[in-house]
Structure 1
Amino acid sequence: MTTIALFGNPNTGKTTLFNRLTDSYAYMGNWSGVTVEKKVGMIKNTNFAIVDLPGIYSLNPLTKDEAIATNFLLTEDQDIIVDVANASQLKRNLLLSIELLEFGKPTVIALNMIDSLRNMGISYNRQVLETAFDCKVMMTNARGNKGTQQLKQELLAEDPRLPATHFSLTYPSSVQQAIKQAVRGLTQNYNVSSQYAKWLAIQFMNANDAVVSFVKQHNLRPLLEQAPYYQAQHFDDKIYQTRLNYIETTLKEARETGSNPHTRDITAKIDRVVTHPLLGLPIFLGIFFLMFKLTFDWFGTPLSDLLDAFVSGPLSTTVNHWLIAAGALPFLRSLIVDGLITGVGGVLVFIPQIFTLFACISLLEDSGYMARAALVMDKLMSKVGLNGKAFIPLIIGFGCNVPGIMAARTIEQPKERLITTLISPYMSCSARLPIYSLFVAAFFAKNQALIVLSLYVLGIVVALVLAKIYQKVLHSENESVFMIELPEYHLPQPTIILRGTWDKGKGFIHKAGTVIFAGTVLIWLLSYFGPSGVVSNISNSFTALIGHSMVPLFAPIGLASWQAISAMLTGILAKETIGATLMVLYHTSGQTALVASLAHLFTPLAAYSFLVFILLYIPCFATIAVIKAETGSWKWALYTIISSLVIAYLVSFLIFQGGLLLGLH
């Protein structure tokens, strides 16, 4: 099998190119650091495997995900390297290219986003670049699928095969002499090739943390013994400056002015507004408000109502008639109709709303706005000891907290990474949308989008307040520098939007068939049976006994309904099960009937307090598990369970009791 390693800076379109080459789809977003682990795909009908590695600016890793890329070179085999570079940002992108070329494997540089370069009225002479870097240079536009087939053909060419690169920079004489000495010692005593020895030496002199650890692990004495000398001579600065000078000279020779040098820079004009110090945050909130209007008022909810009418009406009635005709036992008929169809079906009716929200998020990602959102939030985040990069995992958490927490790997400082992990569960994930939809329809029909937006904002506010507290407690006072690539704005492509929406939303459907299914059966059993056996009145069931016992505890935050308390407990398994549980416990056949039942059991103030509690309380099992995995300790997972429960109760208590004092109901 031939292995192709795909490297590149963040936001060079690397993952999109990966999808084009493998005819597959992997999750992508138009912001820095979306790829947090390597992905592998096969070129169709071949034995060529492509490994998509995390976006990196250099082989010297600053974050956990960047270390994956460097360690891949150190510890795994690769036959071909493809370096994906942003054609409009070559001065910075080619710094990584030089590091890869010095590795010595057959290398192709793909100048991607070539359309953006041409829009700037600039082009580069490909022959000049190929000569300067001693490798094949290809022009591509992965989004438009231009040049990708030619790149694929180049990679698959059997005769001639891609030659190994012999690229070599002429470093200052002191560096050159040190490299020769190190190569001599490594090749003679450690059985490594001269090319690999030279690359190791240069990376070690350049203070690459991953390579330094590798050298120490293998006790490569020719490098370790000279380390103080390399540091004293500032070899890392000399290496960087040599590379930068070479890139600037090469680009100057290769640059050609296009026929339209005065193309309007639309991206810069838009950014002057959406990233404005004063306007940026209101625009961010306005965009999310429009998302919720589309989700709850204009599109998602009307479709959900149609689906609910079908599930609670014809589907439920027809299945019940079939079961009666088949002579099914009342127990089985109740399980299927009152349990599965009511519970699972009652959750699935929210698919239009969830997919509408995910489509909006995918559109913002593909257009390039999400990177601006992180930039806009940087100033606010810096006040709590984090930076805009920490906001990226929080944005991802709006879809699901699990990948959001995993995305915190891109944060350089360990304490900042831990703080981001701990505050991520307070982001309102999509699993909470069904319960929001039920309650805003019942109590806030005229202001649905505004109420939901307030919950999302509240989650962010609580997260930022906690981040400030954690900064003091964990002594995370050293602020890291925030750098993010701002990609050009794109007209979103329907295929990418559809695939992104499906990739985000399919997890909800999967849960409906697994976790929600199991939770619904469990709740139905607990409501069907009581201490004396089968109950005719649900008030005598196990579920009612559990709920009633906890009413005094939750009464101060406005929860006097044992059904709501029982549903809330099942939400620890997965938040989607809350709506299903309520439908089973209230014996309603659909969303409309449940909304009518809720209106008699809650006041608007109590309903909002309940939603706040659902927003902030214990994360689902999957989130707890990923916190343990990312922090490497059950201590932080247990802390998350306890702290989130306390915070949810405290905030809900303040809202409910404060509302009563103000005369609200």
Structure 2
Amino acid sequence: MTVIALAGNPNSGKTTLFNRLTGSNQYVGNWPGVTVERKEGKLKSDKTITVQDLPGVYSLSPYTSEEVVTRKYLLDETPDLAVATVDATNIERNLYLTLQLMETGVPLVLALNMTDILKKNGRKVNIKKLSYMLSIPVVGISALKNANIDKLESEVKHALNKKEKYPLPEYDERLESALKMIESNIVGLVPEDSTRWYAIKFFERDERVWDEVKLDATRKKDIEHIIETAEKVFEDNSDSVIVNARYEYIARIIEMCVIDEKDFSMSMSDKIDEVVTNRWLALPIFVGVMWVVYYLSIQTIGSMGTDWINDVLFGEWIPNFTDSLLKSWDVAPWMNGLIVDGIIGGVGAVLGFVPQIMMLFLCLGILEDCGYMARIAFVMDRIFHRFNLSGKSFIPMLISTGCGVPGVMSTRTIENDKDRRMTIMLTTFMPCSAKLVIIAMITGTFFRGQSWVAPSAYFLSILAVVFSGVFLKKTRLFAGPPLPFVMELPAYHFPKAGNVLRQVASRARSFIQKAGTIIFASCVLIWFLMSFNFRLQMTSQNQSMLRYLGEFVAPLFAPLGFGDWHAAVAVIAGLIAKENCVGTLRISFGGANFAQALHSTYSAMGAYAFLAFNLLCAPCFAAIGTMYKEYGDIRWTLYALGYQTGLAYFVSMLIYQGSQIVQLRINFESVFLSLVVVAMIVYALFIKKDENDKLYSVEKVPVGGKI
């Protein structure tokens, strides 16, 4: 079997190229021993060729799990060919990885991506000269526009058939002399094709290589002497010598191959970023953008479709037609109730919000595809850092706006174990598509026409993250300074309709499939519990198992403003899937007008407290399972769930009890509970640890370690 590996920096277009080359012939899994996603597929034009999409990395130094996976694969599994995906708009940094790939000895083809954007910026690359100077095949492509992909495939197949070894890059003569002496000491101890790479790693004092290759004492002493001599000659440490040599080599290539027609002009992306990432304007712009997103999704365009589906399709047409049909067939009353009230009522209540969810994903997809989402992460990093948090934690939170499961999984990219554990705990605070159903229900029922409610849920989540970060960083479990966050800001471009619509369709399909499986089963269970008593006799709602179970739990939620059995069972059902909150409420209120039933049972602020609680409390079972998998320890998982639920309870209590005071419904309970919650928040934010507590320990603690 022939294998080619795609390697490149993050945001170089590598995954887009992978999708172009393989189409739907893909397999997604994990690399053995680590929680890094593994993608492979078959080349569309030749199913005998397997394409391996390696994790995006900036170098082959083993500092992150992605770098370890990439270099281990290239050296141990040795693909037949590697394709280096290089972002033409950031060619200097991208070529740094290319040189390291060449040094491994794996045959290489360079795919120079985004050449169309480079041309718009007034620059161009002499492809033939670049190929000549690197001594490897180079193909200019645009993976996004599917330009020259066939030419790249042809070059890859030609290189596979040719099986030619290309000359390796040569650096300063003094450095080359030192590397050749190291090579002579390791001949026969390392793979012949990778001798150059191992020599450089020995020179850099790479601990993994020194431990991996078994050298006798004499050879170790000789190599160490070679390195020390070189450091004296260059008056620098060995790893810096290599870094400088590579960048000097790249500088010569760029000088010869890159033509810049606008040396002193700013690109359009730079001009936009001067405003969008401005120190004072960035946050107001972000707030404005998210307000527009939720206004379009919840209040206007999205709500039109939702109102029709809820009021007409699942409110009149389908229930009435099904009820008439079942009665004409003389179906038993309990079966009629199960189908009409349980399945259609419950599942329909969830499916009614599909238009709003699709509209939200459309807006977020446009923001992501045009490049603004990356700026949001940059803006939030600036804010997070002021509170001793890492901006890298916000990336999983952005992903969680679609679904909490991939959001939790994406915390794997965070190297610091303490920050990673904390991010896993906080990521599910963000409003995912399932929670959007609750937001839409509360907004449409209690706050119709008030455009601040839906976006306030988003910003409430961010405030919960910031507060939790400040508080948790003061504890021994999470203390320590945040790691610096380095990310690439891709150039702005017009969103591709195909990319955005595919993303919307994929997420909508996932939501509908969930409604047809998990939500369906949950609605059947809820209907059964609401229709039967503990003797399994069909009974009225007031005598049902569901009511007794709900009333047992309901007093816990009384201080939050929704202390009745309907809301209590909805919260519990939400642990299976958050959409169940809406379906369960719909079933539990039976045949009554749903909106009127909610209005007559809860106050507006009680409903908002219900929204806040379900936004911040323990997530659905799927996300909980993912948290357990990522933590690797049930104790950490329970600790996280306890913190989430506790915070949700206190925030919801503060919202409801505070609203009672503002509305002059002052009573001892409201004042006392509000003061208690505020006092706890102030204490959590301003408590200081004793200096002798060694709060900022930098020792590594495994993710699955003991609490």
Q: What is the TM-score of this pair, normalised by structure 1? A: 0.92
User: Counterpart of 2:452 in 1: which secondary structure?
Assistant: helix
Structure 2 CA distance for partners of 1:627 and 1:114, relative to 1, 3 Å = same
Structure 2 partner of 1:32? none
> Among residues 446, 458, 468, which one is paired with 1:456 in the alignment?
458
Select the residue among 280, 283, 297 that pairs with 1:281: 283
Aligned partner of 2:691 in structure 1 is none
Secondary structure at 1:83 match in 2: strand
The letter for the 2-side match of 1:647 is L
Quick one: which amino acid aligns to residue 285 of structure 1?
Answer: V
CA distances 1:35-71 after superposition (whole Å, capped 9, x unpaired): 9523112112521121112211111143333432222
1:95-120 per-residue CA deviation (whole Å, 9 max, x = no partner) reads 00000011122211111111121122
**Identity over aligned residues, as a percent?**
35
Matched, 1:378 2:381: yes
Bigger shift: residues 158-167 or 435-444: 158-167
Q: Specify which of 162, 178, 193 is matched with residue 191 of structure 2.
A: 193
CA distance in 2, matches of 1:125, 1:17: 22
Kept in 2, the 8 Å contact 1:399–1:430? The answer is yes
Question: Are positions 1:352 and 2:358 aligned together?
Answer: no
Q: Which residue pairs with 2:637 in the alignment?
A: 637
- Residue of structure 2 equivalent to 1:576: 579
Q: Deviations over 1:596-641 (max 9, x none)?
A: 2101101111111111111111111111121222222112111112
| In the alignment, structure 1 residue 149 sits paired with structure 2 residue 150 | yes
What CA distance in whole angstroms lies between the structure 2 residues aligned with 1:252 and 1:138? 19
Matched, 1:315 2:315: no
- RCO (CA 8 Å, sep 6+): is it higher in 1 or 2? 1
1:255 is matched with which residue?
Answer: 258
Q: Is the 8 A contact 1:121 1:263 kept in 2?
A: no
Question: Which residue identity is paired with 1:418?
Answer: R
Per-residue CA deviation, residues 390-440 of structure 1 (Å, 9 max, x unaligned), is: 211111111111111222222232222222222112112111111221111
| 1:213 maps to which of 208, 211, 225 | 208
Between the aligned partners of 1:236 and 1:45, the Cα distance in structure 2 is 42
* Counterpart for residue 113 of structure 1: 114
User: Does the Cα contact within 8 Å between 2:7 and 2:56 map onto a contact in 1?
Assistant: yes
Deviation at 1:204, TM superposition (A): 4.0
Contact 1:123 1:257 in 2 (8 A): yes
Q: What's the offset of the Cα at 1:300?
A: 0.8
Q: Which residue of 1 aligns with 2:497?
A: 494
Moved more, 62-71 or 451-460: 62-71
Change (3 A) 1:388 1:541: same
What is the alpha-carbon distance in structure 1 between the residues aligned to residue 104 and residue 380 of structure 2? 38
Report the counterpart of residue 466 of structure 1 in structure 2: 468
Secondary structure in 1 matching 2:5: strand
| Contact kept in structure 1, 2:25 and 2:42, CA below 8 Å | no
Aligned to 2:375, the other structure's residue is in SS state helix
- Cα–Cα, structure 1 residues 230 and 7, in superposed 2: closer, same or farther, change >3 Å? farther
User: 1:464, CA displacement in angstroms?
Assistant: 1.1
SS in 1 for 2:326: helix
Aligned counterparts, 1:183-582, within 5 A: 183-188=183-188, 190=189, 192-208=190-206, 212-213=207-208, 216-217=211-212, 219=214, 233=231, 234-258=237-261, 265-308=267-310, 309-447=312-450, 449-473=451-475, 474=477, 476-582=479-585
**Contact 1:119–1:263 under 8 Å retained in 2:** no
Deviations along 1:444-482, one digit per CA (max 9) or x if unpaired, are 0021x3111111111111111111222221354333222
Matched residues in 1 for 2:300 and 2:247: separation? 53
Shift of 1:182: 4.2
The answer (yes or no) to whether the contact 1:335–1:521 under 8 Å persists in 2 is yes
In the other structure, the counterpart of 2:621 is 621
The CA distance in 2 between the partners of 1:230 and 1:661, in whole Å, is: 76
Distance 2:121 2:638 in 1: 53
- TM-superposed CA distance for 1:569, in Å, is 0.4
Alignment map for 1:81-160 (pairs within 5 Å):
81-157=82-158, 160=161
The alpha carbon displacement at 1:659 in A equals 1.3
Distance 2:577 2:434 in 1: 8
Deviation at 1:273, TM superposition (A): 0.8
| 1:143-168 alpha-carbon deviations (Å, 9 max, x no partner) | 11111121122223388535232323
For structure 2, list consecutive stretches of 5 or more residues without a partner in the other structure.
29-34, 232-236, 666-707
- Residue 262 (structure 1) shift: 8.0
Partner Cα separation in structure 2 for residue 180 and residue 6 of structure 1: 29
**2:578, 2:53 → 1: CA distance?**
33
Number of aligned pairs?
648
Equivalent residues of 1:63, 1:409 under 8 A apart: no
How far apart are the structure 2 equivalents of 1:484 and 1:444?
39
Q: CA deviation at 1:247?
A: 0.6
Equivalence for 2:655: 655
2:37 counterpart SS class: coil
Change (3 A) 1:483 1:600: same
Q: For 2:564 and 2:445, how far apart are their aligned partners in 1?
A: 16
5+ unaligned residues in a row in structure 1: which ranges? 29-34
Distance in structure 2 (CA, Å) of the matches to 1:664 and 1:27 = 60
Structure 2 Cα separation of the partners of residues 228 and 622 of structure 1: 52
> 1:70 maps to what in 2?
71
CA distance in 2, matches of 1:587, 1:171: 81
Whole-Å separation in 2 of the counterparts to 1:476 and 1:552: 36
- Aligned counterparts of 1:66 and 1:360: Cα–Cα separation in 2: 33
* Equivalent residues of 1:443, 1:599 under 8 A apart: yes
- Mapping 1:33-48, distance limit 5 Å: 37-46=37-46, 47-48=48-49
Amino acid at match of 1:128: K
Conserved in 1, the CA contact under 8 Å of 2:8 and 2:97? yes
**3-state SS in 1 of match to 2:419:** helix
Amino acid at match of 2:56: G
Work out whether residues 104 and 166 of structure 1, in 8 Å CA contact, stay in contact via their aligned partners in 2.
no
Given residue 200 of structure 1, which amino acid in structure 2 is its aligned partner?
Answer: Y
Which range is displaced more, 9-18 or 382-391?
Answer: 382-391
In the TM superposition, residue 130 of structure 1 has moved relative to its aligned partner by 1.1
Amino acid at match of 1:11: N
Give the secondary-structure state (helix, strand or coil) at the position aligned to 1:472: coil
Distance 1:561 1:8, change over 3 A: same
Secondary structure of residue in 2 paired with 1:38:
strand
Cα distance in 1 for partners of 2:322, 2:343 equals: 11
Give secondary structure in 2 for the equivalent of 1:534.
Answer: coil
Kept in 2, the 8 Å contact 1:605–1:664? The answer is no
Q: Is the 8 A contact 1:379 1:387 kept in 2?
A: no
Q: Secondary structure at the match of 1:600?
A: helix
Q: Is the 8 A contact 2:182 2:223 kept in 1?
A: no
CA distance in 2, matches of 1:88, 1:27: 30
What's the counterpart of residue 31 of structure 2?
Answer: none
Aligned to 1:4: 4
Structure-2 separation of matches of 1:224 and 1:71: 23
Alpha-carbon distance between aligned partners in 1 of 2:528 and 2:585, rounded to the nearest angstrom:
14
Q: Secondary structure at the match of 2:449?
A: helix
CA distance in 2 between partners of 1:573 and 1:664 (Å):
38
Does residue 52 of the first structure (1) align with residue 29 of the second (2)? no
Give 1:141-180 correspondences, 5 Å limit: 141-157=142-158, 160-161=161-162, 163-171=164-172, 173=174, 175-180=175-180
